[in-house]
Amino acid sequence: MQFKVLLIMTKKDYLQDISEIKNIMNRSTRFLSLSGLTGILAGVYALIGAFFAQQILKEYVNTNNRSVYNSEMGFALDFIMMELIGIALIVALLSVITAYILTKRKAKKEGVSIWTTTTKRLLFHFFIPLATGGIFSLIILNQGFYGFVAPATLIFYGLAIVNASNFTFSSVKYLGIAEIILGLIALNYIGYGLYFWAIGFGVFHIFYGTIMYFREKPTI
């Protein structure tokens, strides 16, 4: 009888040991203070940005329904490009600030520090494809391939997420894969970049963010 009790006790201890080991292995390699709310808000910013971008483009088409080859129009196009890039940068900046604030808040709640080796690793693996994509996009913009910018940003952003997914919630890789596929589809519909952009950066973020938000401890 005593022996049996002892056995059950040790079994429970061993199970606890194993789960503790898994927990530490995850916490020491993955950055888990990302909040689902960040995704939702980033998606909302992107949709608002896309709306403004569409207004600008609409106005441009309305005021310039003359010949396509017009020197004045070329100038206007440059100006519009700057406006669109401005919107994109504001959306990106707001998203980064939101991510920082919410991550810091969640980390504080969980009693973990935010600037750790895991964070650095996550950022490093995230930013290499992302920076490459950013520079790539600027170069093709400069070359005049405006239509390729939306697919390129989606694809590189997706690659960045997949690359970073080993260092945070691994389910985030599905978001990355979805962005890559969307980017490849967008390549076939040059000229509709803004809509794909709104889907990829807006709808997908809100969708994934909501899923994450409702299971604050997602499966790893």
Partner 1 sequence: MSIIQHINKVFNHRVRLGIMSALMVNESVDFNSLKNLLDITDGNLASHIKALEKVAYILIQKQFIGKKTNTKYSVTKLGKIAFKKHINALEKLISQQK
Print burial letters for 102-112: b (CB count within 10 Å at least 16), e (below 16). Answer: bbeebbeeeee
Print the binding letters for residues 26-55 with partner 1: x by CB under 8 A, - otherwise: -xxx--------------------------
Among 81, 85, 90, 112, binds partner 1 (CB under 8 A): 112
Q: Per CB under 8 A, which region of 24-32, 92-100, 177-185, 195-203 contacts partner 1?
A: 24-32
What's the closest the beta carbon of residue 59 comes to partner 1, in angstroms? 53
Q: Per CB under 8 A, which region of 15-23, 81-89, 153-161, 211-219 contacts partner 1?
A: 15-23
Element (H, E) at 130: helix 117-142
Q: What gap in Å lies between CA 133 and CA 153, rounded to an integer? A: 6
Nearer to partner 1, 23 or 54 (CB): 23
**By the 8 A CB rule, do 146 and 194 touch?**
no
Q: What gap in Å lies between CA 185 and CA 56, rounded to an integer? A: 25
Q: How many residues bind partner 1 (CB under 8 A)?
A: 20
Q: What gap in Å lies between CA 132 and CA 136, rounded to an integer? A: 6
Place of tokens 């994109």: 88
Residues in touch with partner 1 (CB under 8 A): 7-8, 10-11, 14-15, 17-18, 20-21, 24-25, 27-29, 111-113, 116-117
